[in-house]
Structure 1
Protein backbone atom coordinates (compact mmCIF):
# COMPACT_ATOMS: atom_id res chain seq x y z
CA UNK A 1 0.00 0.00 0.00
CA UNK A 2 1.43 3.36 -1.05
CA UNK A 3 2.13 6.07 1.50
CA UNK A 4 1.87 8.76 -1.18
CA UNK A 5 -0.78 11.39 -0.36
CA UNK A 6 -3.94 11.54 -2.48
CA UNK A 7 -3.70 14.75 -4.50
CA UNK A 8 -6.86 14.16 -6.56
CA UNK A 9 -9.02 17.04 -5.33
CA UNK A 10 -6.31 19.31 -3.96
CA UNK A 11 -5.38 22.59 -5.65
CA UNK A 12 -1.97 24.20 -6.01
CA UNK A 13 -2.15 27.00 -3.46
CA UNK A 14 1.06 28.56 -4.79
CA UNK A 15 0.10 28.56 -8.48
CA UNK A 16 1.03 31.71 -10.37
CA UNK A 17 -2.40 31.74 -12.04
CA UNK A 18 -3.98 31.97 -8.57
CA UNK A 19 -1.72 34.91 -7.75
CA UNK A 20 1.08 32.99 -6.04
CA UNK A 21 4.31 34.96 -6.07
CA UNK A 22 7.84 34.87 -4.69
CA UNK A 23 8.15 37.78 -2.26
CA UNK A 24 11.67 37.18 -0.95
CA UNK A 25 14.67 35.07 -1.95
CA UNK A 26 18.28 35.07 -0.79
CA UNK A 27 19.87 34.05 -4.10
CA UNK A 28 18.76 33.51 -7.70
CA UNK A 29 22.06 33.90 -9.50
CA UNK A 30 21.40 31.45 -12.33
CA UNK A 31 17.60 31.48 -12.62
CA UNK A 32 14.71 33.36 -11.03
CA UNK A 33 12.60 31.73 -8.33
CA UNK A 34 9.32 32.91 -9.92
CA UNK A 35 9.70 30.20 -12.55
CA UNK A 36 8.98 27.56 -9.90
CA UNK A 37 5.33 28.67 -9.86
CA UNK A 38 4.64 28.43 -13.61
CA UNK A 39 1.86 26.00 -14.61
CA UNK A 40 3.70 24.43 -17.55
CA UNK A 41 5.93 21.38 -17.04
CA UNK A 42 9.63 22.29 -16.97
CA UNK A 43 11.56 22.10 -20.24
CA UNK A 44 15.23 21.92 -21.17
CA UNK A 45 17.09 23.89 -23.86
CA UNK A 46 20.42 22.19 -24.49
CA UNK A 47 23.18 24.54 -25.56
CA UNK A 48 21.28 27.72 -24.65
CA UNK A 49 23.29 30.04 -22.42
CA UNK A 50 22.66 33.44 -20.83
CA UNK A 51 25.11 35.89 -19.29
CA UNK A 52 24.71 33.85 -16.07
CA UNK A 53 25.36 30.45 -17.63
CA UNK A 54 23.21 27.54 -18.88
CA UNK A 55 19.52 28.49 -19.27
CA UNK A 56 17.44 26.57 -16.76
CA UNK A 57 13.68 26.36 -16.35
CA UNK A 58 13.30 26.92 -12.63
CA UNK A 59 15.06 28.51 -9.67
CA UNK A 60 18.80 27.99 -9.39
CA UNK A 61 21.26 29.49 -6.91
CA UNK A 62 25.02 29.79 -7.11
CA UNK A 63 27.35 27.26 -5.48
CA UNK A 64 27.76 28.06 -1.80
CA UNK A 65 31.12 26.23 -1.64
CA UNK A 66 32.38 26.84 1.91
CA UNK A 67 29.77 29.48 2.80
CA UNK A 68 27.62 28.57 5.82
CA UNK A 69 23.84 28.24 5.68
CA UNK A 70 21.39 27.27 2.96
CA UNK A 71 19.36 29.02 0.28
CA UNK A 72 15.69 29.86 0.63
CA UNK A 73 12.68 31.42 -1.08
CA UNK A 74 9.47 32.75 0.49
CA UNK A 75 6.23 32.48 -1.47
CA UNK A 76 2.97 34.30 -0.84
CA UNK A 77 0.25 31.78 -1.68
CA UNK A 78 -2.29 32.79 -4.27
CA UNK A 79 -4.98 31.36 -2.03
CA UNK A 80 -4.58 30.85 1.73
CA UNK A 81 -5.31 27.34 2.86
CA UNK A 82 -4.18 24.11 4.48
CA UNK A 83 -1.29 22.32 2.76
CA UNK A 84 -1.44 18.52 2.58
CA UNK A 85 1.62 17.86 0.42
CA UNK A 86 4.39 19.73 -1.36
CA UNK A 87 5.97 18.71 -4.66
CA UNK A 88 9.57 19.81 -5.15
CA UNK A 89 10.18 19.05 -8.82
CA UNK A 90 13.84 18.85 -9.85
CA UNK A 91 13.21 17.75 -13.44
CA UNK A 92 16.25 18.45 -15.67
CA UNK A 93 18.38 19.32 -12.62
CA UNK A 94 20.58 16.25 -12.86
CA UNK A 95 23.84 17.43 -11.30
CA UNK A 96 22.76 20.57 -9.52
CA UNK A 97 19.66 19.64 -7.50
CA UNK A 98 19.65 20.31 -3.73
CA UNK A 99 20.68 17.47 -1.47
CA UNK A 100 17.67 18.05 0.79
CA UNK A 101 14.80 20.48 1.30
CA UNK A 102 12.79 21.84 4.21
CA UNK A 103 9.38 23.57 4.12
CA UNK A 104 7.73 25.94 6.61
CA UNK A 105 4.46 27.87 6.57
CA UNK A 106 3.19 31.03 8.25
CA UNK A 107 0.00 33.04 8.56
CA UNK A 108 0.68 36.73 8.02
CA UNK A 109 -1.96 39.47 7.81
CA UNK A 110 -2.13 41.88 4.90
CA UNK A 111 0.62 42.14 2.33
CA UNK A 112 3.95 42.24 4.19
CA UNK A 113 7.06 43.35 2.33
CA UNK A 114 10.06 41.21 1.43
CA UNK A 115 11.94 42.56 4.44
CA UNK A 116 9.02 41.84 6.78
CA UNK A 117 8.50 38.21 5.70
CA UNK A 118 12.24 37.57 6.06
CA UNK A 119 12.39 38.83 9.67
CA UNK A 120 13.46 36.32 12.30
CA UNK A 121 10.36 37.19 14.34
CA UNK A 122 8.03 35.47 11.84
CA UNK A 123 6.42 32.42 13.45
CA UNK A 124 7.16 29.71 10.91
CA UNK A 125 5.43 26.34 11.39
CA UNK A 126 7.27 23.23 10.12
CA UNK A 127 5.41 21.57 7.24
CA UNK A 128 8.06 19.22 5.86
CA UNK A 129 11.16 18.38 7.93
CA UNK A 130 14.57 18.35 6.30
CA UNK A 131 14.22 15.60 3.71
CA UNK A 132 16.64 14.26 1.08
CA UNK A 133 15.31 14.60 -2.47
CA UNK A 134 16.05 12.95 -5.80
CA UNK A 135 17.54 14.86 -8.75
CA UNK A 136 15.58 15.05 -12.01
CA UNK A 137 12.34 13.92 -10.36
CA UNK A 138 9.05 15.16 -8.91
CA UNK A 139 9.51 14.70 -5.16
CA UNK A 140 6.09 14.55 -3.45
CA UNK A 141 6.49 15.29 0.25
CA UNK A 142 3.56 14.87 2.70
CA UNK A 143 2.95 17.65 5.20
CA UNK A 144 3.30 16.71 8.87
CA UNK A 145 0.08 16.64 10.91
CA UNK A 146 1.20 19.61 13.03
CA UNK A 147 1.59 21.58 9.82
CA UNK A 148 -2.05 21.12 8.79
CA UNK A 149 -3.01 24.68 9.63
CA UNK A 150 -4.16 27.63 7.54
CA UNK A 151 -1.18 29.46 6.03
CA UNK A 152 -0.69 32.45 3.75
CA UNK A 153 3.06 32.14 3.12
CA UNK A 154 5.49 29.29 2.55
CA UNK A 155 9.27 29.14 2.92
CA UNK A 156 11.23 26.62 0.88
CA UNK A 157 14.78 25.98 2.10
CA UNK A 158 17.18 24.05 -0.12
CA UNK A 159 20.24 22.46 1.48
CA UNK A 160 22.72 23.74 0.71
CA UNK A 161 22.06 25.20 -2.77
CA UNK A 162 21.06 24.15 -6.27
CA UNK A 163 18.01 24.21 -8.51
CA UNK A 164 14.28 23.49 -8.31
CA UNK A 165 12.23 23.38 -11.50
CA UNK A 166 8.71 23.60 -10.07
CA UNK A 167 7.09 23.95 -6.65
CA UNK A 168 3.53 22.79 -6.02
CA UNK A 169 1.68 23.26 -2.73
CA UNK A 170 -1.23 20.80 -2.76
CA UNK A 171 -3.96 21.83 -0.37
CA UNK A 172 -7.48 22.97 0.36
CA UNK A 173 -8.39 26.63 0.10
CA UNK A 174 -9.55 28.36 3.29
CA UNK A 175 -10.53 31.88 2.20
CA UNK A 176 -11.24 34.82 4.42
CA UNK A 177 -15.04 34.58 5.01
CA UNK A 178 -15.27 38.35 4.60
CA UNK A 179 -14.70 37.80 0.87
CA UNK A 180 -18.26 36.48 0.60
CA UNK A 181 -19.87 39.22 2.70
CA UNK A 182 -22.42 41.26 0.73
CA UNK A 183 -20.69 40.70 -2.61
CA UNK A 184 -21.32 38.58 -5.68
CA UNK A 185 -18.61 35.93 -5.95
CA UNK A 186 -17.81 33.04 -8.25
CA UNK A 187 -18.72 30.27 -5.83
CA UNK A 188 -17.22 27.62 -8.12
CA UNK A 189 -13.81 29.31 -8.39
CA UNK A 190 -10.88 27.21 -7.21
CA UNK A 191 -9.12 30.21 -5.68
CA UNK A 192 -12.09 30.65 -3.33
CA UNK A 193 -12.35 26.96 -2.45
CA UNK A 194 -14.54 25.47 -5.18
CA UNK A 195 -13.51 21.95 -6.27
CA UNK A 196 -14.58 19.87 -9.26
CA UNK A 197 -14.97 16.66 -7.28
CA UNK A 198 -16.07 14.28 -10.03
CA UNK A 199 -16.57 13.95 -13.77
CA UNK A 200 -17.85 11.26 -16.10
CA UNK A 201 -14.75 11.37 -18.32
CA UNK A 202 -11.46 13.28 -18.65
CA UNK A 203 -9.99 11.72 -21.78
CA UNK A 204 -8.76 15.00 -23.30
CA UNK A 205 -8.85 17.51 -20.45
CA UNK A 206 -8.65 17.59 -16.66
CA UNK A 207 -11.88 18.41 -14.85
CA UNK A 208 -10.03 20.83 -12.55
CA UNK A 209 -9.53 23.14 -15.54
CA UNK A 210 -13.24 23.99 -15.35
CA UNK A 211 -12.88 26.34 -12.39
CA UNK A 212 -9.27 27.44 -12.74
CA UNK A 213 -8.44 31.15 -12.55
CA UNK A 214 -8.28 33.35 -15.62
CA UNK A 215 -9.26 32.68 -19.21
CA UNK A 216 -8.17 29.52 -20.98
CA UNK A 217 -5.42 30.23 -23.50
CA UNK A 218 -6.10 27.12 -25.57
CA UNK A 219 -8.42 24.13 -25.79
CA UNK A 220 -6.01 22.10 -23.68
CA UNK A 221 -6.76 24.32 -20.68
CA UNK A 222 -10.38 23.21 -20.64
CA UNK A 223 -12.32 20.02 -19.92
CA UNK A 224 -12.97 17.68 -22.84
CA UNK A 225 -14.37 14.16 -22.88
CA UNK A 226 -13.99 11.38 -25.42
CA UNK A 227 -16.75 11.08 -28.03
CA UNK A 228 -19.68 9.25 -26.49
CA UNK A 229 -20.96 6.34 -28.60
CA UNK A 230 -23.60 5.03 -26.23
CA UNK A 231 -26.57 6.48 -24.40
CA UNK A 232 -26.32 9.16 -21.74
CA UNK A 233 -24.42 12.39 -21.38
CA UNK A 234 -21.19 13.57 -19.82
CA UNK A 235 -21.24 15.47 -16.54
CA UNK A 236 -19.11 17.14 -13.88
CA UNK A 237 -19.87 17.90 -10.23
CA UNK A 238 -18.55 21.04 -8.54
CA UNK A 239 -18.46 21.45 -4.77
CA UNK A 240 -18.94 25.20 -4.23
CA UNK A 241 -16.73 27.24 -1.96
CA UNK A 242 -19.66 28.01 0.32
CA UNK A 243 -23.44 27.89 0.36
CA UNK A 244 -25.04 30.66 -1.62
CA UNK A 245 -27.80 31.82 -3.92
CA UNK A 246 -26.98 31.40 -7.60
CA UNK A 247 -27.92 34.44 -9.69
CA UNK A 248 -25.94 33.67 -12.86
CA UNK A 249 -23.99 30.78 -14.36
CA UNK A 250 -21.41 31.04 -17.12
CA UNK A 251 -20.44 28.15 -19.42
CA UNK A 252 -17.42 29.20 -21.49
CA UNK A 253 -16.75 27.12 -24.64
CA UNK A 254 -14.07 29.32 -26.22
CA UNK A 255 -11.50 27.36 -28.26
CA UNK A 256 -13.96 24.44 -28.63
CA UNK A 257 -15.12 25.02 -32.21
CA UNK A 258 -15.92 21.56 -33.50
CA UNK A 259 -16.27 19.75 -30.22
CA UNK A 260 -18.33 22.00 -27.93
CA UNK A 261 -21.38 20.40 -26.29
CA UNK A 262 -24.64 20.75 -28.19
CA UNK A 263 -26.46 21.75 -25.01
CA UNK A 264 -25.96 22.05 -21.26
CA UNK A 265 -28.15 21.73 -18.18
CA UNK A 266 -27.40 22.63 -14.57
CA UNK A 267 -28.61 20.91 -11.43
CA UNK A 268 -27.98 21.86 -7.80
CA UNK A 269 -27.99 20.18 -4.41
CA UNK A 270 -27.70 21.46 -0.85
CA UNK A 271 -25.89 18.92 1.33
CA UNK A 272 -23.58 20.79 3.71
CA UNK A 273 -23.50 17.94 6.24
CA UNK A 274 -21.99 15.18 4.10
CA UNK A 275 -19.38 13.20 6.03
CA UNK A 276 -17.27 13.18 2.87
CA UNK A 277 -17.96 16.36 0.88
CA UNK A 278 -16.34 14.80 -2.20
CA UNK A 279 -18.62 11.73 -2.24
CA UNK A 280 -21.18 12.68 -4.87
CA UNK A 281 -22.87 9.28 -4.61
CA UNK A 282 -24.16 10.33 -1.18
CA UNK A 283 -26.20 13.15 -2.74
CA UNK A 284 -29.72 11.79 -3.17
CA UNK A 285 -31.65 14.86 -4.28
CA UNK A 286 -30.85 17.26 -7.12
CA UNK A 287 -33.10 20.05 -8.32
CA UNK A 288 -33.01 21.76 -11.73
CA UNK A 289 -31.32 25.15 -11.91
CA UNK A 290 -30.98 25.60 -15.68
CA UNK A 291 -33.00 23.52 -18.17
CA UNK A 292 -31.30 21.98 -21.18
CA UNK A 293 -30.09 25.00 -23.10
CA UNK A 294 -28.35 25.32 -26.47
Structure 2
Protein backbone atom coordinates (compact mmCIF):
# COMPACT_ATOMS: atom_id res chain seq x y z
CA UNK A 1 0.00 0.00 0.00
CA UNK A 2 1.49 3.34 -1.06
CA UNK A 3 1.70 6.27 1.32
CA UNK A 4 -0.58 9.29 0.80
CA UNK A 5 0.79 12.00 -1.48
CA UNK A 6 0.96 14.45 1.41
CA UNK A 7 3.96 12.54 2.83
CA UNK A 8 6.04 14.00 -0.04
CA UNK A 9 5.46 17.50 1.34
CA UNK A 10 7.61 19.42 3.84
CA UNK A 11 7.49 18.27 7.46
CA UNK A 12 6.65 21.60 9.07
CA UNK A 13 7.31 20.28 12.59
CA UNK A 14 10.76 18.76 11.95
CA UNK A 15 13.36 19.71 14.55
CA UNK A 16 15.99 20.05 11.82
CA UNK A 17 13.82 22.63 10.07
CA UNK A 18 13.28 24.55 13.32
CA UNK A 19 10.25 22.88 14.93
CA UNK A 20 10.13 22.87 18.75
CA UNK A 21 8.28 20.94 21.44
CA UNK A 22 7.35 23.78 23.80
CA UNK A 23 5.53 22.10 26.67
CA UNK A 24 3.60 19.01 27.66
CA UNK A 25 1.47 17.65 30.46
CA UNK A 26 3.95 14.89 31.28
CA UNK A 27 7.07 13.29 29.76
CA UNK A 28 8.14 11.12 32.67
CA UNK A 29 9.44 8.18 30.61
CA UNK A 30 10.64 9.85 27.40
CA UNK A 31 11.18 13.50 26.47
CA UNK A 32 8.78 15.46 24.30
CA UNK A 33 11.66 16.70 22.08
CA UNK A 34 12.00 13.19 20.59
CA UNK A 35 8.69 13.68 18.76
CA UNK A 36 10.31 15.96 16.17
CA UNK A 37 13.53 14.08 15.48
CA UNK A 38 14.24 12.47 12.08
CA UNK A 39 13.27 8.93 11.19
CA UNK A 40 10.80 6.71 13.02
CA UNK A 41 12.72 6.12 16.24
CA UNK A 42 14.85 3.18 17.32
CA UNK A 43 14.56 0.46 19.96
CA UNK A 44 17.48 -0.61 22.14
CA UNK A 45 16.60 -3.80 24.00
CA UNK A 46 18.65 -3.46 27.16
CA UNK A 47 18.71 0.31 27.55
CA UNK A 48 17.08 1.66 30.71
CA UNK A 49 17.09 4.90 32.67
CA UNK A 50 16.43 5.46 36.38
CA UNK A 51 12.77 6.00 35.39
CA UNK A 52 12.33 2.81 33.42
CA UNK A 53 12.76 1.58 29.87
CA UNK A 54 14.48 4.06 27.54
CA UNK A 55 12.19 4.87 24.61
CA UNK A 56 12.85 6.95 21.51
CA UNK A 57 9.72 9.06 21.54
CA UNK A 58 7.48 11.03 23.88
CA UNK A 59 6.04 8.88 26.66
CA UNK A 60 3.98 9.95 29.66
CA UNK A 61 3.51 7.95 32.85
CA UNK A 62 0.40 5.83 33.44
CA UNK A 63 -2.40 8.26 34.25
CA UNK A 64 -4.17 7.68 37.57
CA UNK A 65 -6.31 10.85 37.45
CA UNK A 66 -9.04 12.07 35.06
CA UNK A 67 -8.08 13.75 31.79
CA UNK A 68 -5.52 13.12 29.06
CA UNK A 69 -1.95 14.07 28.16
CA UNK A 70 -0.92 16.68 25.60
CA UNK A 71 2.11 18.28 23.95
CA UNK A 72 2.34 21.70 22.28
CA UNK A 73 4.49 22.00 19.15
CA UNK A 74 5.75 25.20 17.53
CA UNK A 75 6.03 24.63 13.78
CA UNK A 76 9.29 25.58 12.09
CA UNK A 77 7.36 27.97 9.86
CA UNK A 78 3.75 28.95 9.55
CA UNK A 79 1.99 26.80 7.00
CA UNK A 80 -1.01 24.96 5.61
CA UNK A 81 -1.23 21.40 6.92
CA UNK A 82 -2.21 18.66 4.47
CA UNK A 83 -1.63 15.57 6.57
CA UNK A 84 -0.02 14.13 9.69
CA UNK A 85 1.77 10.96 10.75
CA UNK A 86 1.30 10.06 14.42
CA UNK A 87 3.88 7.29 14.54
CA UNK A 88 3.78 4.78 17.40
CA UNK A 89 6.83 2.83 16.21
CA UNK A 90 8.11 0.49 18.99
CA UNK A 91 5.27 1.55 21.29
CA UNK A 92 3.30 -1.68 21.59
CA UNK A 93 1.88 -2.25 25.06
CA UNK A 94 2.20 1.43 25.88
CA UNK A 95 0.77 3.37 22.91
CA UNK A 96 -2.25 5.69 23.32
CA UNK A 97 -5.46 4.17 21.91
CA UNK A 98 -6.56 7.56 20.54
CA UNK A 99 -5.20 10.99 19.61
CA UNK A 100 -6.49 14.33 18.36
CA UNK A 101 -4.88 17.52 17.06
CA UNK A 102 -5.65 21.17 17.63
CA UNK A 103 -3.99 24.12 15.90
CA UNK A 104 -3.63 27.86 16.33
CA UNK A 105 -2.02 30.82 14.60
CA UNK A 106 -0.29 33.15 17.01
CA UNK A 107 2.85 35.20 17.47
CA UNK A 108 1.94 36.08 21.04
CA UNK A 109 1.24 34.29 24.30
CA UNK A 110 0.44 30.66 23.51
CA UNK A 111 -1.68 30.44 26.68
CA UNK A 112 -4.09 33.01 25.17
CA UNK A 113 -4.28 31.38 21.75
CA UNK A 114 -7.56 30.19 20.24
CA UNK A 115 -7.28 26.51 19.37
CA UNK A 116 -9.17 24.84 16.51
CA UNK A 117 -9.60 21.07 16.23
CA UNK A 118 -8.12 19.90 12.91
CA UNK A 119 -8.14 16.15 13.69
CA UNK A 120 -10.93 14.77 15.88
CA UNK A 121 -10.26 12.00 18.38
CA UNK A 122 -9.00 9.20 16.16
CA UNK A 123 -7.74 5.64 16.77
CA UNK A 124 -4.03 4.85 16.86
CA UNK A 125 -2.57 1.46 16.02
CA UNK A 126 0.45 0.23 18.02
CA UNK A 127 3.87 0.18 16.35
CA UNK A 128 2.47 1.92 13.26
CA UNK A 129 2.46 5.03 11.14
CA UNK A 130 -1.01 6.46 11.73
CA UNK A 131 -1.55 8.68 8.69
CA UNK A 132 -4.41 11.17 8.63
CA UNK A 133 -5.32 13.72 5.96
CA UNK A 134 -6.11 17.23 7.21
CA UNK A 135 -8.72 19.16 5.21
CA UNK A 136 -8.45 22.47 7.09
CA UNK A 137 -6.33 24.77 4.87
CA UNK A 138 -6.00 27.69 7.26
CA UNK A 139 -2.51 28.91 8.18
CA UNK A 140 -1.21 27.70 11.54
CA UNK A 141 1.90 28.21 13.67
CA UNK A 142 1.38 25.75 16.54
CA UNK A 143 -0.17 22.33 17.19
CA UNK A 144 -1.39 20.57 20.30
CA UNK A 145 -1.19 16.79 20.17
CA UNK A 146 -3.66 15.21 22.58
CA UNK A 147 -3.31 11.53 23.52
CA UNK A 148 -6.02 9.57 25.30
CA UNK A 149 -5.43 8.91 28.08
CA UNK A 150 -1.62 8.49 28.18
CA UNK A 151 1.23 6.52 26.62
CA UNK A 152 3.94 6.92 24.01
CA UNK A 153 4.26 8.34 20.51
CA UNK A 154 7.56 7.92 18.65
CA UNK A 155 7.28 10.73 16.11
CA UNK A 156 4.87 13.41 14.93
CA UNK A 157 5.28 14.54 11.34
CA UNK A 158 3.21 17.44 10.05
CA UNK A 159 3.20 17.58 6.27
CA UNK A 160 2.20 20.73 4.45
CA UNK A 161 3.09 23.94 2.62
CA UNK A 162 5.36 26.59 4.07
CA UNK A 163 3.57 29.93 4.20
CA UNK A 164 5.68 33.04 3.72
CA UNK A 165 4.15 36.50 3.35
CA UNK A 166 6.01 37.63 0.23
CA UNK A 167 4.40 41.08 0.41
CA UNK A 168 6.85 41.83 3.24
CA UNK A 169 9.89 41.05 1.05
CA UNK A 170 11.12 44.00 -1.00
CA UNK A 171 12.46 43.76 -4.56
CA UNK A 172 16.00 44.71 -3.40
CA UNK A 173 16.14 42.30 -0.44
CA UNK A 174 18.50 39.33 -0.72
CA UNK A 175 17.06 36.00 0.41
CA UNK A 176 17.92 32.33 -0.01
CA UNK A 177 15.63 31.21 -2.82
CA UNK A 178 16.57 27.56 -2.10
CA UNK A 179 15.72 27.54 1.63
CA UNK A 180 13.13 25.04 2.80
CA UNK A 181 12.11 27.54 5.49
CA UNK A 182 11.15 29.97 2.71
CA UNK A 183 9.17 27.30 0.87
CA UNK A 184 11.72 25.79 -1.54
CA UNK A 185 11.30 22.06 -2.20
CA UNK A 186 13.36 19.32 -3.86
CA UNK A 187 10.83 17.72 -6.20
CA UNK A 188 12.70 15.16 -8.34
CA UNK A 189 16.08 13.47 -8.67
CA UNK A 190 17.55 10.50 -10.50
CA UNK A 191 19.12 8.93 -7.40
CA UNK A 192 19.21 9.40 -3.61
CA UNK A 193 20.44 5.99 -2.57
CA UNK A 194 22.31 7.07 0.56
CA UNK A 195 20.50 10.23 1.68
CA UNK A 196 17.48 12.32 0.76
CA UNK A 197 17.37 15.21 -1.68
CA UNK A 198 15.39 17.33 0.83
CA UNK A 199 18.55 17.65 2.94
CA UNK A 200 20.05 20.05 0.37
CA UNK A 201 17.67 22.80 1.46
CA UNK A 202 17.80 22.43 5.24
CA UNK A 203 19.02 25.20 7.60
CA UNK A 204 22.57 25.21 8.91
CA UNK A 205 25.53 23.16 7.74
CA UNK A 206 25.19 19.39 7.52
CA UNK A 207 25.90 17.65 10.83
CA UNK A 208 27.44 14.56 9.23
CA UNK A 209 27.74 12.72 5.91
CA UNK A 210 24.18 11.42 6.21
CA UNK A 211 22.84 14.99 6.34
CA UNK A 212 23.06 15.78 2.64
CA UNK A 213 22.08 14.41 -0.77
CA UNK A 214 24.24 11.45 -1.77
CA UNK A 215 23.91 9.16 -4.78
CA UNK A 216 25.31 5.65 -5.16
CA UNK A 217 28.58 4.94 -6.98
CA UNK A 218 27.99 4.94 -10.73
CA UNK A 219 30.49 3.30 -13.07
CA UNK A 220 28.70 4.32 -16.29
CA UNK A 221 31.07 6.42 -18.45
CA UNK A 222 30.15 10.14 -18.48
CA UNK A 223 27.45 9.65 -15.84
CA UNK A 224 25.83 12.67 -14.23
CA UNK A 225 23.32 12.66 -11.37
CA UNK A 226 20.77 15.43 -10.91
CA UNK A 227 18.18 16.95 -8.60
CA UNK A 228 15.45 19.48 -9.44
CA UNK A 229 14.42 22.12 -6.89
CA UNK A 230 11.35 24.34 -6.92
CA UNK A 231 12.51 27.73 -5.68
CA UNK A 232 10.69 29.43 -2.83
CA UNK A 233 9.71 32.25 -5.23
CA UNK A 234 10.47 33.20 -8.80
CA UNK A 235 13.70 35.12 -8.57
CA UNK A 236 17.14 36.15 -9.79
CA UNK A 237 20.18 34.18 -8.59
CA UNK A 238 23.07 36.48 -7.59
CA UNK A 239 25.22 34.16 -5.48
CA UNK A 240 25.54 30.37 -5.19
CA UNK A 241 26.82 28.22 -2.34
CA UNK A 242 27.54 24.54 -2.94
CA UNK A 243 28.68 22.92 0.31
CA UNK A 244 30.36 19.49 0.36
CA UNK A 245 30.68 19.40 4.17
CA UNK A 246 31.69 15.92 5.42
CA UNK A 247 31.96 14.53 1.88
CA UNK A 248 35.65 13.71 1.54
CA UNK A 249 36.21 10.48 -0.39
CA UNK A 250 32.82 10.77 -2.08
CA UNK A 251 32.32 14.38 -3.14
CA UNK A 252 31.43 15.02 -6.82
CA UNK A 253 34.24 15.96 -9.17
CA UNK A 254 32.21 18.90 -10.53
CA UNK A 255 28.74 20.41 -10.72
CA UNK A 256 26.55 22.43 -13.08
CA UNK A 257 23.40 24.45 -12.35
CA UNK A 258 20.56 25.21 -14.77
CA UNK A 259 17.31 27.12 -14.40
CA UNK A 260 13.89 27.21 -15.99
CA UNK A 261 10.75 29.31 -15.59
CA UNK A 262 7.49 27.40 -15.61
CA UNK A 263 4.13 27.48 -13.86
CA UNK A 264 3.15 25.07 -11.11
CA UNK A 265 0.62 23.60 -13.53
CA UNK A 266 3.49 22.53 -15.80
CA UNK A 267 5.64 21.11 -13.00
CA UNK A 268 4.50 17.54 -13.64
CA UNK A 269 6.38 17.56 -16.97
CA UNK A 270 9.50 19.29 -15.67
CA UNK A 271 11.78 16.45 -16.72
CA UNK A 272 10.38 16.31 -20.26
CA UNK A 273 12.55 17.24 -23.22
CA UNK A 274 10.14 20.08 -24.01
CA UNK A 275 11.30 22.09 -20.98
CA UNK A 276 13.95 24.68 -21.84
CA UNK A 277 16.84 24.99 -19.38
CA UNK A 278 19.32 27.86 -19.16
CA UNK A 279 22.82 27.51 -17.70
CA UNK A 280 23.26 29.45 -14.45
CA UNK A 281 26.61 27.99 -13.37
CA UNK A 282 28.73 26.22 -16.01
CA UNK A 283 30.35 22.91 -15.09
CA UNK A 284 32.77 23.75 -12.28
CA UNK A 285 35.26 21.70 -10.24
CA UNK A 286 34.50 20.95 -6.59
CA UNK A 287 36.63 20.17 -3.53
CA UNK A 288 36.14 17.81 -0.60
CA UNK A 289 34.47 19.08 2.59
CA UNK A 290 34.35 22.68 1.39
CA UNK A 291 31.99 25.65 0.99
CA UNK A 292 32.13 26.79 -2.65
CA UNK A 293 30.85 30.32 -3.37
CA UNK A 294 30.14 31.48 -6.91
CA UNK A 295 29.21 34.99 -8.08
CA UNK A 296 31.22 36.12 -11.11
CA UNK A 297 30.81 32.63 -12.59
CA UNK A 298 27.01 33.03 -12.84
CA UNK A 299 26.12 32.98 -16.54
CA UNK A 300 22.47 34.08 -16.48
CA UNK A 301 20.59 36.82 -14.68
CA UNK A 302 17.15 35.69 -15.85
CA UNK A 303 14.37 35.01 -13.32
CA UNK A 304 13.82 31.32 -12.58
CA UNK A 305 11.19 29.24 -10.78
CA UNK A 306 13.10 25.93 -10.75
CA UNK A 307 16.74 24.85 -10.88
CA UNK A 308 18.45 21.58 -11.79
CA UNK A 309 21.75 20.74 -10.11
CA UNK A 310 23.96 18.23 -11.94
CA UNK A 311 26.85 16.47 -10.21
CA UNK A 312 29.55 14.64 -12.19
CA UNK A 313 29.79 11.67 -12.04
CA UNK A 314 28.11 10.97 -8.66
CA UNK A 315 28.62 11.59 -4.94
CA UNK A 316 27.33 13.84 -2.19
CA UNK A 317 26.41 17.49 -1.67
CA UNK A 318 25.52 18.69 1.81
CA UNK A 319 23.75 22.00 1.11
CA UNK A 320 22.85 24.30 -1.78
CA UNK A 321 22.08 27.98 -1.19
CA UNK A 322 20.88 30.30 -3.95
CA UNK A 323 20.97 33.89 -2.78
CA UNK A 324 19.10 36.44 -4.83
CA UNK A 325 16.09 38.69 -5.18
CA UNK A 326 12.49 37.82 -5.90
CA UNK A 327 10.71 38.95 -9.04
CA UNK A 328 7.95 41.32 -8.01
TM-score by length of 2: 0.80
Distance in structure 2 (CA, Å) of the matches to 1:168 and 1:240: 23
Structure 2 match to 1:49:
48
Helix, strand or coil for the counterpart of 2:119? strand
Cα distance between partner residues in 2 of 1:116 and 1:24: 15
Q: Deviations over 1:164-183 (max 9, x none)?
A: 11111111111232563343
Distance 2:131 2:217 in 1: 34
Deviation at 1:267, TM superposition (A): 0.9
Q: Once the two structures are superposed, what CA deviation does each residue of 1:87-144 show, in whole Å capped at 9, x if it has no partner?
A: 1111121111000111122211x2x345334xxxx141x322221111112222221x
Corresponding residue number in structure 1 for 2:255: 264
Contact residue 96 and residue 150 of structure 2 kept, 8 A: yes
Specify every segment of 5 or more residues in structure 1 that has no aligned partner in the other structure, as ranges. Answer: none
Aligned to 2:85: 87
- Asked whether the 8 Å contact 1:88–1:167 carries over to 2, the reply is yes
- State how 1:64-103 maps to structure 2 within 5 Å: 64-65=63-64, 67-103=65-101
Q: Distance in 1 between matches of 2:186 and 2:198?
A: 6
* Conserved 8 A contact 2:13-2:158: yes
Shift of 1:291: 1.0
Shift in Å, 1:69: 2.1
Q: Is the aligned partner of 1:188 residue 2:186?
A: no
- 8 Å CA contact retained: 1:89, 1:164: yes
Matched, 1:25 2:16: no
Within-5 A mapping of 1:94-133: 94-108=92-106, 110=107, 112-117=108-113, 122-124=114-116, 126-133=117-124
Distance 1:276 1:284, change over 3 A: closer
Post-superposition Cα deviations, 1:244-277, rounded to whole Å, max 9, x if no partner, equal 2111011111222222111111111122x33154
Q: Which has the higher strand share?
A: 2
Query: Counterpart of 1:171?
Result: 160
Q: TM-score, normalised by structure 1?
A: 0.88
C-alpha distance in structure 2 between counterparts of 1:50 and 1:262, whole Å: 47
Partner Cα distance (2:112, 2:52) in 1: 32
For the Cα contact (< 8 Å) 1:23–1:114, is it kept in 2? no
Contact 1:239 1:278 in 2 (8 A): no
- Unmatched runs of 5 consecutive residues or more in structure 2: 286-328
- Distance in 2 (CA, whole Å) between partners of 1:210 and 1:175 is 20
Task: Confirm or deny: 8 A CA contact 2:69 2:148 kept in the other structure.
Answer: yes
Hey, what does 2:10 align to over in structure 1? Answer: 11
Preserved contact between residue 105 and residue 127 of structure 1 (Cα < 8 Å) = yes
Residue 221 of structure 1 deviates from its aligned partner by 1.4
Deviation at 1:233, TM superposition (A): 1.7
RMSD: 2.0
Deviation at 1:158, TM superposition (A): 0.6
Number of matched residues? 282
> How far apart are the structure 2 equivalents of 1:188 and 1:246?
10
